[in-house]
A and B are shown apart, each in its own frame.
Chain A
Amino acid sequence: MKPWRYPARWALFKMDDRLLLMFIGAIVGTCSGIAALALNHSLHFLLEALSHWRQHWWAFVLPAAGAALSSLFLEKIVKEGAGHGVPEVIYSVSRYGGLIRLRSAFSRLISSCLTIGSGGSAGPEAPVVMSGSAIGSNIARFFSLNDRQRVTLVGCGAAGAISSIFNAPISGIVFTIEVILGEWTALNIIPIAIAAVAGTEISRALQGDQIVFSPQVFDIGMGDIFASIGLAVFTAIASIALTHGLRSMHQISGKVKAPLWIRAGIGGSCVGIIGLFLPVVLGEGYHFVHTMIEGNFTPGLAFVAVACMAKILATSLTLGWGGSGGIFAPCLVIGSLTGLTYHRMLSAIWPSVNWVNEGCYALLGMAGLISGMLQAPLTGIFLIVEITGGYAVILPLIIVSAISATLCHYIEPSSFYLKELVDRGHLLRPGTDARVLSDLSIKELLETDCVCVNQNMPIREFIKIVENSRRNYFPVEDDATGEFVGMLHLDDIRPYLFNRMLYDAVLVGQIMNPNVETVLPDDDLTEILHKMDSQRLFSIPVVVNNRFVGMISKATLLDKYRKELMVQTTS
């Protein structure tokens, strides 16, 4: 046994396992930061390498080829599903204590690099979150840490990745807490913060301390604050349009009977065709966001509005048809286009009012779209403040983020990341009912102190058994085969109890209830409870292969449920 593989036993960490998490959190943050930088740099490289081909008319095959290759890679080589990976991370955190396969640490990086580098409309952020999380999970597994520590390290990975790719530590922390973990405890916040710092530091060390979008000075008046309310409505509409676009494209592509990579290719070529006319839709699109924030985006209102819709369409086509990548970057592009559209509309309607620079509206639009899509207003606010280096816009930023998130929540109760999980009932946030129920297994709740009786037993014998038993329920078995045939409740023998004449005349099999609901030990506890509630049952027998193995009762469940809740919530 190698002692360095078990840091939990080092003298320093034996004192307090929080120190251990901070130490490993820094390692995880550094590694995932490096992964994020690797993706960023290979994207730039690929974009530049392909740039001189983009002038040709046949350039539309580039996104098609990229998307098809990335789909082939995911399906055939690493055998993973398409998509951006964030729901998978959340799912593994809520269901499997953060267990993620090692190959996930690089699979999404490569596939999204192919998709985005070739011009597909998607973002590199979700893939780096996935790979950062996978790095955290696998480091935790390497050091044999437990579930709680592993989940924290998965969060560290995600925080490190986001911090590194945006050079924005607070966004990394807030995104992880708000979206990935959904839990804010003193125990996990410190390692995550350290990982975010490590991720940011590695990014600054390797590519310099540069703010993603150059800071601008905005002079925001009262009118702009009120106008931002209207902008929030627009960003909410854009978010909903993007959500629906992604989902309907996914459904349409699901109906096409073709291999996955051909579908991805079809989506990619459509994006390529749009890109021939509107190059703004291609790739992650940060270059255009730059020009918009600086106020150098010249085209008029109509063009911007069309470009906004085209970007929504292109993103839906790329991701809905099987390309690989996230929605973060497209959200920023769509958001800034929405902000620009709104600003141009305002200027057209009230030309006399002295509105603030349109770059500011582009910023607000980005925050609104991030908050609306992820339904994570804090992430939207902090991300925009950090990547633009402008604290001055914080007031309208909060208003847009809050209103946009609220409106989107009103129309779409669960965010884009969580929708699928919520629909399948897989979203188990810490400290919730679903979480406690999913942790308790039937095996832990099983009561095995029931006394089995034969169905051919006369009541006289049964009463003797009752005398020495502690339970009100008696499972009835067939004497020859031992198979479970029904249940007998103490109430069932009450009418015969004081009539000694019947003691030998009535058999247990005659008074038992043969039609009992039974459950299997592998059944989901939520379903079992639903069954019990709908039939007003207080307890239910567990039967395997026609053999009685025990009872589940609500009394025991309450006892165990309460203990579980106490263990899970107080920390």
Chain B
Amino acid sequence: MKLTIDEVAECLDVPSSTVERWIRQGRIPVSKSSGACFFQKSILYVWAKKHNLPFTLPEEKITQIDEKKSDSLCNVMSFGGVYHNIRGNNVDEVLASSVKNIAFLDEDGQQMLLTKLLEREEMASTGIGKGIAIPHPRMPMDETMEEPVITTCFLEHPVDFNAVDGLAVFVLFILLSPSVKIHLYLLSKLAFCARDASFVEFLKQGPDEKALLERVERLEKSL
């Protein structure tokens, strides 16, 4: 496999000018054909190993970075679905009836998730204020889960959630993610939306799925 100067610079994490100087000084094994320099990957790999230099191909790097930008908030919310008139008079009841709407989990899974959510609520309330709560398990879900999911649940009656500002919660965004990184990424996006006062007013009207997702998409673009 042939590599160019720029690719090798990328692999070794040095500027191209350094690679060019190494070629000039004869420190790096290079092949020349018709005036252009190229490198044999296998030879270079041995060379890097001999000198203890880190050597990673650019493709490997790209996959690592890609993980973060998995999905937009709008997509994740449409996976989870939007549900209205969730019954319940306290945190336990509300969560119990919300969990039943999460379609991709079987009954055992729903029960386990409920326990995890309640554990998290015991540590500290997930009510972030303005009547919004973001229930989520303390640890990311197990490896079987590949895509993050947000299930939106509008409550029948506002419920006291021990939120930071003491306001009763009227909407839950149940946030399930495969890794902490994605979790934090989605959390910050949700929090950004919740800061927008007009969005909160809009939520209070209990919009249907289509209207909600459109609104979220617009907000996301302004981010």
Contact = CB atoms under 8 A, between A and B. Distances in A.
Interface stretch (B21-29, B77-85, B169-177): B21-29
A149 B29 CA distance: 13
Given A444-B17, A444-B18, A567 B53 contact: yes
B51 interface: yes
Contact of B26 (A147, A441, A566): A147
Contact of A149 (B21, B26, B53): B26
Contacts of A446: 15
A251 interface: no
B25 to A, nearest CB: 4
A146 B51 CA distance: 19
Given A97-B25, A563-B12, A566-B51, 6 more contacts: A97-B24, A145-B26, A146-B23, A441-B17, A567-B27, A570-B50
14 contacts: A9-B32, A97-B25, A145-B26, A147-B24, A148-B26, A443-B17, A444-B14, A444-B17, A444-B18, A563-B12, A563-B53, A566-B51, A567-B22, A567-B27
B23 A444 contact: no
B205 interface: no
Nearest to B35: A1
Nearest to A446: B15
Contacts of B26: 145-149
A429 interface: no
A186 to B, nearest CB: 14
B52 interface: yes
Contact of A147 (B18, B25, B32, B51): B25
A568 interface: yes
A566 B47 CA distance: 11
Given A570-B50, A570-B51, A148 B18 contact: no
Interface string A116-155: 0000000000000000000000000000011111000000
Contacts of B23: 146
A450 to B, nearest CB: 16
Contacts of B53: 563, 566-567
A560 B22 CA distance: 13
A149 B22 CA distance: 13
B52 A570 contact: yes
Nearest to B33: A9
Nearest to B30: A146
A75 to B, nearest CB: 33
A185 B53 CA distance: 21
Contacts of A8: 32
Interface in B1-54: 12, 14-15, 17-18, 21-28, 32, 50-53
Contacts of A563: 12, 14, 18, 53
B2 to A, nearest CB: 15
B54 to A, nearest CB: 9
B25 A146 contact: yes
Contacts of A147: 24-26
A563 B12 CA distance: 9
A446 B18 CA distance: 12
A552 to B, nearest CB: 13
B76 to A, nearest CB: 22
Contacts, number: 48
A197 B52 CA distance: 36
Contacts of B12: 563
Interface residues of A, number: 21
A93 to B, nearest CB: 12
A540 to B, nearest CB: 18
A439 interface: yes
Interface of B: 12, 14-15, 17-18, 21-28, 32, 50-53
Given A566-B51, A567-B51, A570-B50, A560 B25 contact: no
A560 B18 contact: yes
Contact of B27 (A441, A444, A560, A568): A568
B21 A439 contact: yes
Contact of B24 (A146, A560, A568): A146
Contact of B52 (A97, A441, A566): A566
A449 B223 CA distance: 22
A491 to B, nearest CB: 24
B28 A567 contact: yes
A148 B14 contact: no
Contacts of B15: 443-444, 446
A25 to B, nearest CB: 15
B199 to A, nearest CB: 20
A368 B116 CA distance: 86
A563 B52 CA distance: 9
Contacts of B18: 440, 444, 560, 563-564
B141 to A, nearest CB: 29
Interface in A428-456: 439-441, 443-444, 446
A443 B18 CA distance: 9
Nearest to B23: A146
A440 B32 CA distance: 24
A427 to B, nearest CB: 18
A374 B205 CA distance: 93
Contacts of A560: 14, 18
A146 B29 CA distance: 11
Question: Chain A CB within 10 Å — which of B15, B18, B21, B23 has the most?
Answer: B18
Contacts of B52: 566, 570
A444 B14 CA distance: 8
B195 to A, nearest CB: 14
A59 B27 CA distance: 56
A114 B148 CA distance: 87
Nearest to A443: B17
A101 to B, nearest CB: 19
Given A149-B26, A567-B28, A444 B21 contact: yes
A564 B21 CA distance: 11
Contacts of B25: 97, 146-148, 439
B47 to A, nearest CB: 9
Nearest to B22: A567
A557 to B, nearest CB: 13
Nearest to A150: B26
A145 B32 CA distance: 12
A147 B22 CA distance: 9
B28 to A, nearest CB: 7
Contacts of A570: 50-52
A560 to B, nearest CB: 7
A396 to B, nearest CB: 43
Contacts of A148: 25-27
A139 to B, nearest CB: 15
A19 to B, nearest CB: 15
A564 B27 CA distance: 10
A568 B28 CA distance: 10
A96 to B, nearest CB: 11
Contacts of B28: 567
A564 B15 CA distance: 12
A444 B19 CA distance: 10
Interface in A239-294: none
Contacts of A9: 32
Contacts of B22: 567
